[in-house]
Structure 1
Amino acid sequence: MAGFKYRDLTIVPLSREKMVIAADSIGGVGPKAGDIVKTSGEIVGRYGARVVLMELLAVKARPQVISCTVSCEWEPTGKEIYQGVLAEVKTLPFAIDITGSSEKNFTTNTTGAGFTAVGLGDELLVNRICETSDLYIVGVPLVGEEVLKFPELQATPHLVYELSQNNDVLEIIPCGSGGVGAELMWLKNQGFEIENVIAPPFSLEKSAGPGTSLLVAVKEGIELKAAIPVHYLGKAIKVKKT
């Protein structure tokens, strides 16, 4: 069956539900001599898994399996990355299978890994924004060393899962390297105008790294709360065609 793209996701209709696929990669971050940002393999695994899990959970797809392909040796770096993936998976209230591979032929001096998650869902949170919806930014855009320093300001897969279960939430959009601004531009390309904007205490263009912040659309008049910083941004209003 032919699939279709929705933002960074590939969605494939099946007989009773839809298969949703998310993929991401990371390089130059880790414990090796050539890495630009120094951190443990476990952190690499956690944040690599976090990105693809949040992409699935944001559209209300339940992750079934996550694959981690490590571009370096299994021991010790690959094993540490696997432990990070496992730790992130365990933050969710359901089981997810883990598979993957590592480099067995060559020695590398930088860390690299690819992450793919596959999920299933029926009534996905896709194209659900109403004629008029309220927009919130949940979490703070962080990148590089900031991600390691301020975990208390970041969105997590468990938070995205909780938001996806809220009937007042229409869509959840994890922000990436283009920041909140890139996701607002995507909304505009879908035919929405953003009005009554209240500027947040950070640049809308700042990279949100591994999805540290979310753009969340809710039913008009709903106040959104979370355990991390929440900023009311304004209204998304569907432009009527003339």
Structure 2
Amino acid sequence: MRDAIFLGNELWMGVDNSAGIGEKPGDVLSASESLVAEMAARVALLELWCVEAEAQQIVVINFTGNAAWNFYKLGIERLFQNIGLDCPPIAGSTESNMTTLQSGISVQIIGSRQKKCWYQTKKKLTPAEQPGNWFLIGKPLVGQAVLNTPTEVVALKELYLARLSDSISYCHPCGSSGVDAELSRLGIRASNPIPPGSAGPSTCVLVKSPLSLDALQRLFTASVLEI
């Protein structure tokens, strides 16, 4: 289930945060505030997709200041627009009493599960036991590399369409621990060399698919590697 949090009554929550990335002079990495929010929302949404839940409400915790709020909101709305989905309502809180030296944001997305997924089946099969093969879509990227090589960041619209068409049966986002750590969590031993490094804002995902490598690659702009 990756790191999605079960809230009860078929509700789940995906969360991601970012600090020191933005437009303040003290930030470690310079990036537009809208892009920072978009990437944080991306991770939280992928956490929901991992448990077959769809977004219903978004909560933003803004430590950057009042001026950043509209840009953060814009970035999150752009994420859903690029996928082709309506953006859920956005609410939250802003630190306005103290001026911070660096940017900071947390994005929480609450969603409900729409269909049965792997842990609801009678046989209780784990993702590794589901039919099909494992693939890595995209490459692990972090920091400036995310900005420099956008075509190697798995596109969420393409991933969403693949989920709708049942071209993939399970989606598992990779994070700062890297791909190898996620494979270990899933109990998978790779047959091919795995690219090292942090996957930052889930620039790559592990998926289970009944398709061949060539067929799956035709659905994605980013590179696809059979595990």
TM-score, scaled relative to structure 1: 0.82
Selected match of 2:225 from 217, 231, 234: 231
For each residue in 1:28-49, what CA deviation from the matched residue of structure 2 results, as whole angstroms up to 9, or x when unmatched? 1010011100111111111111
Residue 212 of structure 1 corresponds to which residue in structure 2?
A: 203
Residue 42 of structure 1 corresponds to which residue in structure 2?
A: 34
The answer as to whether partners of 2:12 and 2:53 remain within 8 angstroms in 1 is yes
The aligned runs of 1:103-118 (5 Å cut-off) are 103-118=95-110
The answer as to whether partners of 1:54 and 1:156 remain within 8 angstroms in 2 is no
Greater per-residue helix proportion:
2
Selected match of 2:48 from 35, 50, 56: 56
Identity, in percent, stands at 27
1:183 is the counterpart of 2:182? yes
Q: Which runs of 5+ in 1 are unaligned?
A: 1-5, 234-242
For the residues of structure 1 that align with 2:127 and 2:31, how far apart are their CA atoms? 38
Residue 80 of structure 1 corresponds to which residue in structure 2?
A: 71
Residue 70 of structure 1 corresponds to which residue in structure 2?
A: 62
Counterpart residue identity of residue 87, structure 1: R
Q: Alpha carbon RMSD of aligned pairs, Å?
A: 2.0
Q: CA deviation at 1:91?
A: 1.9
The answer as to whether partners of 1:198 and 1:232 remain within 8 angstroms in 2 is yes
Q: CA deviation at 1:137?
A: 0.6
CA gap of 1:13–1:152, structure 2 versus 1, over 3 A, is same
Residue 152 of structure 1 corresponds to which residue in structure 2?
A: 151
Q: Which moved more, 1:212-221 or 1:98-107?
A: 212-221
Counterpart residue identity of residue 33, structure 2: G
Counterpart residue identity of residue 189, structure 2: I
For the residues of structure 1 that align with 2:17 and 2:156, how far apart are their CA atoms? 17
Q: Which moved more, 1:40-49 or 1:130-139?
A: 130-139
Residue 3 of structure 1 corresponds to which residue in structure 2?
A: none
Selected match of 2:6 from 11, 15, 39: 11
Residue 167 of structure 1 corresponds to which residue in structure 2?
A: 166
For the residues of structure 1 that align with 2:82 and 2:56, how far apart are their CA atoms? 15
Name the larger-Rg structure. Answer: 1
Residue 237 of structure 1 corresponds to which residue in structure 2?
A: none
Q: Which runs of 5+ in 2 are unaligned?
A: 120-125
TM-score, scaled relative to structure 2: 0.87
- Count of aligned pairs between the two proteins: 216
Q: CA deviation at 1:65?
A: 1.3
Instruction: Say which SS state the counterpart of residue 189 (structure 2) adopts.
Output: strand
The answer as to whether partners of 1:22 and 1:55 remain within 8 angstroms in 2 is yes
Greater per-residue strand proportion:
1
